Amino acid sequence: MPAISLPRHNTFPEAEWRALARHWYPIAYSDELDAGKPLARTLLDEPLIAYRTTGRQVVVARDLCIHRGVPLRHGWQEGDELVCAYHGFRYGADGRCTAIPAQPDLPVPKKLCLSTVASIERLGLVWVCLDPAADTAPALPDWPELSDPAYRMMHDPPPEWDCTPGRQLENFIDVGHFSWIHVGTFGNRAQPEVAPYDVVKTPGGFRVAYPYLAANPDATATGFSGSSTIQRWMTYDLHLPLACRLVVEYEGGKRHCIFDAPTPVSRRKTRIFFFIARNYDHHVPAEDLLAWERKILAEDKPIVESQRPEDLPVDLSEEFHIRSDRFSVAFRTALRDLGLGPAYSA
Ligand code: FES
Ligand SMILES: [Fe+2]
């Protein structure tokens, strides 16, 4: 098969782009496509257009009408078709042009076709791979809470940060920073020491269990009032290369799950699919719980966006590691082994 061509305005070195393009990333939450309007998103510098057909199929294509090179984001959806804003060419769910209004008797040539890309809707997300392996099933994470009616999934629109996904995901799995930058939310400054923990290999990545005596300034956020601290039993399941579920368990089997899947938009821009699901307190408005998570993310954002080098160094000699960094060392090593080393080293 010929090598896939790079986006016109690609900001990545070619080898880095090709290595990243073989993996699956979320580009949208499923419900972002429910409005019957096409959604424009960018993955690895490739502008994409996504929409849902009346039969609920998700279609994702490169965002370009090949008549005169106009992005379809200027157009609209009619039934199962996209209509280009410039001259009204219409495109069906398979990408094929179905109508040329200015010359209705012209048989539509086969090559007049949008360039569709591989997509899968799963776990409440639309996942895309620009260069999927022809013979292997996509390795997507297994997050059973998202199909369990006992859990309520909640999310904000996915924000874009000025950082690389490697730095952002490493921040998500970093157990050593809670007691420092998160003292405005759950961080407990009286608990700076990080106890030793194990990094366990799993089929998709790594699992780490880590207990933390967190601050508890907001009873709505945790569901527990009357105590200034609260015991969290935290279990991370990292799914390589760039997705992680964190189960925060409190007393009595109350589970608050946090999911993080950063998507590379361009070399220095990342769209963050950060969402939650919990199995209790369904009477609390989602907005209150999401406001709490936004506050936590706001504590992380300036730190992550200012890290240098921007790319996560997978050469372990480049930064200094302590015992509490065992998880991130495993993550960096795994990225390097996946051939993503050049992608994340300066
Ligand atoms: S550019 Fe799309 S119809 Fe002409
Ligand atoms: Fe954090």
Residue 343 has pLDDT above 60, yes or no: no
Q: Give 33's contacts (C-beta < 8 A, 6+ positions apart).
A: 39, 50, 51, 52, 58, 126
In this structure, the residue with its CA closest to atom 1 of ligand 1 is 68
Q: What is the mean pLDDT of residues 169-181?
A: 98
Percent of all residues in the chain with a pLDDT value above 70, rounded to a whole number: 98
95: region left, alpha or beta (phi > 0 left; psi from -120 to 50 alpha): left
pTM for the whole thing? 0.96
Break the chain into its structural domains and give their ranges.
Answer: 14-129, 144-344
Residue 29 has pLDDT above 80, yes or no: yes
Q: What is the pLDDT of residue 3?
A: 86
> What residues pair up with 258 in beta bridges, in sequence order?
246, 276
Query: In angstroms, what is the span from residue 47 Cα to ligand 1's centroid?
Result: 17
Q: What is the mean pLDDT of residues 115-120?
A: 96
Q: What is the pLDDT of residue 2?
A: 76
Say what angle helices 286-306 and 165-172 make with each other, to 10 degrees. 120
The CATH class given to the 144-344 domain equals alpha beta
Residue 89 has pLDDT above 80, yes or no: yes
Peptide bond preceding 309: is omega within 30 degrees of 0, i.e. cis? yes
Q: Is the dihedral of CA 124, 128, 134, 140 positive or negative?
A: negative
Neighbours of ion ligand 2 (CB under 5 A): 300
Rounded Cα distance between 84 and 94, Å, is 16
> In this predicted model, what pLDDT tens digit does every residue of 223-265 receive, in sequence order?
999 999 999 999 999 999 999 999 999 999 999 999 999 999 9
Nearest-atom index, ligand 1, CA of 87: 3
Nearest-atom index, ligand 1, CA of 70: 1
Among 87, 112, 113, the mutation site with the greatest number of ligand 1 atoms within 8 A of its Cβ is: 87
CATH superfamily of the 14-129 domain: Rieske [2Fe-2S] iron-sulphur domain (2.102.10.10)
> In this predicted model, what pLDDT tens digit does every residue of 177-192 receive, in sequence order?
999 999 999 999 999 9
Q: What is the pLDDT of residue 342?
A: 58
Q: What is the pLDDT of residue 32?
A: 98
Query: In angstroms, what is the span from residue 122 Cα to ligand 2's centroid?
Result: 26
Q: What is the mean pLDDT of residues 311-330?
A: 96
* Ligand nearest to the CA of residue 83, numbered in listed order: 1
Computed over every residue of the chain, the mean pLDDT equals: 95
Instruction: Answer yes or no: same fold for 14-129 and 144-344.
Output: no
Q: What is the mean pLDDT of residues 262-290?
A: 98
